[in-house]
Structure 1
Amino acid sequence: MHLPKVTRNLLWIIALVYLAQQFLGDALMPFMLWPFADVFVGTGSDGLPVSMGFQPWQLLTYGFMHDSSGFGHLFFNGIALYQFGGRLEEVWGGRRYLTFFLVCVIGAGICQLAFMTWMPETAGPTIGASGGVYGLLLAYGMLFPRERVMLLIPPIPMSARTLAIVFGALSLLMGVTGTAGGIAHFAHLGGMLFGWLLIRYWSGQAPFTRKRKGPWGV
């Protein structure tokens, strides 16, 4: 599939940031998403304690960083961007598609901040484009509900709508039960929530009442 411009550039950005993380390491820590309360991360060269806390720009920058200790995090988000993002961009156009993705990333960050404030024992840095990817998955399932898609692991075919429902339900279940604690499940759900709200806004549906110019997806 030919990748449209915005999706292609997003893939390049997350790949280049991943490479930068390999070389710069801790220097990029201020661009991760940190909780409101400062978190101790070590001692500086002067022997004084160093801590990290929330800064507004982190709601955007964290979404372009990935776990630098392995390739899986970047790989699966990149595959999802390729599979779902390109198709949505072709339907929506670059500007609307980029707006949607960034709103989902920021919304996912807001929900993760709320969760870390509610459960401070879980507080720590959050990185990854998964919130934006989950928003794209939701939109894809709404726009192409009957289209067959194939999971990578395990390789099971299912409709796009079913895939979105399954991934959303799994994130909710694992978030509530604390399963796979190293994964920001509520950020995933936040990406879906804000994506759904933006689609409702574009469509003029409750809780928004005024019809916006142009259809959201068709």
Structure 2
Amino acid sequence: MFSITITLVIVIITAIISYNAFNNNQIKYDLIMYPPAISERKQWYRLFSYGLIHADFIHLAFNMYALYLFGSSLESDYKSIFGNVLGSIFYLLLYIFALLFSILPSYKKNETNSGYSSLGASGAVSAVIFASIVLRPKKEIGFLFLPKELYFPGYIFGIVYLIASYYMAKKKNDNINHEAHYWGAVFGIIFTILTTYFIAHYPVFTAFINQVAH
């Protein structure tokens, strides 16, 4: 039965705002993570609002597809571990604070750089994907249009992704914010481990090892 989830609400809101920003540059300029606007004009909301806009339809579609795919199962897992209300709250907090923590390193490095800006929900989506990997490490992950035989178990994908993101962030040879991907993923792992282990008393380490071993 179809149901409205937090994941679906985030996807819909992000898609609507991103679509409107495609046709109205003022929306993009008002929401984008632009360091001088934060450091000089104190527009701190930009450390979150940049995740509501995207560079183009492909950027938006890829992020929202990944978010819906992994977010739906993660939201369900959170509710199973924490209960419906607390699970929903923690899932929403994961997404919101992932936007902040994934972009902070880039912001601090470019605090006075008027030529730098960043947009897109990739950091938060990375947090959702890696939080899902923590709880379901054997879930297979691949890319669109590739056969299932070329999919990786989540924990293998995670290792490769973190190494690749760290390497690409150091090289800085494209316009993709790989640093946000990396720190978003790290935040998703840490947030999920800390909340499930210390608040829900869920044996996250034992569960992870048992799933990988079998």
TM-score by length of 2: 0.79
Report the Cα distance in structure 2 between the residues aligned to 1:106 and 1:199, rounded to whole angstroms: 16
Indicate the residue corresponding to 1:97 in structure 2.
91
Please give the per-residue CA displacement for 1:53-99, whole angstroms capped at 9, x wherever unaligned.
662101111111111xx311001101111110000001113222111
Within the candidate set 175, 184, 187, 1:191 is matched to 184
1:47 — aligned with what? none
Question: Shift in Å at residue 4 of structure 1?
Answer: 5.2
Q: What is the aligned partner in structure 2 of residue 164 from structure 1?
A: 158
- Contact 2:7–2:67 (Cα < 8 Å) also in 1: yes
1:215 corresponds to which of 190, 202, 211: 202
Asked if the contact 2:38–2:46 (Cα under 8 Å) also holds between the matched residues in 1, the reply is no
Contact 2:20–2:27 (CA under 8 A) maintained in structure 1: no
**Contact 1:112–1:186 at 8 Å: present in 2 too?**
yes
1:73 corresponds to 2:59: yes
Where in structure 2 are there 5+ consecutive unaligned residues?
80-87, 208-214
- CA shift for structure 1 position 170: 1.4
Provide the alpha-carbon RMSD of the alignment: 2.8
Which letter does structure 2 place at the counterpart of 1:32?
A: I
Q: How many residues align?
A: 195
Segments of 5+ residues of structure 1 without an aligned counterpart are 40-51, 205-210
The within-5 A match list for 1:74-153 is 74-93=60-79, 94-117=88-111, 120=113, 123-152=115-144
Q: TM-score normalised to the size of structure 1? A: 0.78
Equivalent residue letter for 1:188: H
Aligned-residue sequence identity (percent) comes to: 24
Query: Relative to total residues, which structure has the larger strand share, 1 or 2?
Result: 1
1:23, distance to aligned residue in structure 2 (A): 3.1
The structure in which a higher percent of residues are helix is 2
